[in-house]
Amino acid sequence: MADYFFYGSLMDADVLSAVAGERIPPGRLIPARLPGYERLGMRHGVFPTLVEYPGAEVAGMLVRGIDADVARRLARYEGPGYILARRTVTTADGPIEANVFILMRPGRTSGKIWDFETWCRRHKRRLLRALAKDRAR
């Protein structure tokens, strides 16, 4: 079992559950912050990536106790361009070491801060439909 920090679409309980293949109760998503990074949009896409930036921090969600099967599904969702790195995130209960998906080759960003609420309004439903269609295959 491992702890994961999510900073993009997987911060949403519905999306996380669809990717995980099991219901992840919203109560398991713990607000957390990742220091030393900014969350920027990708140049040609709707998803974010992390870019190291001293003094910045990214708000996200920590999920504790991810098992190996769910971890494999998460890695498949993120794709081969991402590596899994251990980083210290801060929660209301203090610092926790967590796995974080980080783009191997940064630099393909839009240069603009990525906003979760805007993403939910514009893109969440489309992603959930695509995930459901993929699961049905």
CATH number for the domain spanning 104: value is 3.10.490.10
Q: What is the pLDDT of residue 104?
A: 82
Q: What is the pLDDT of residue 65?
A: 93
Q: Which residue has the tokens 């921090």?
A: 57
Average pLDDT along the chain: 93
**Environment class of residue 2 by beta-carbon count within 10 Å: exposed (0-12), middle (13-18) or buried (19+)?**
middle
User: Averaged over 43-54, what is the pLDDT?
Assistant: 90
User: Averaged over 34-46, what is the pLDDT?
Assistant: 92
Q: What is the pLDDT of residue 107?
A: 65
Please count the structural domains in the chain: 1
- How many percent of the chain have pLDDT more than 70? 99
- Enumerate the β-bridge partners of residue 99: 4, 86
Domain of 67? 2-136
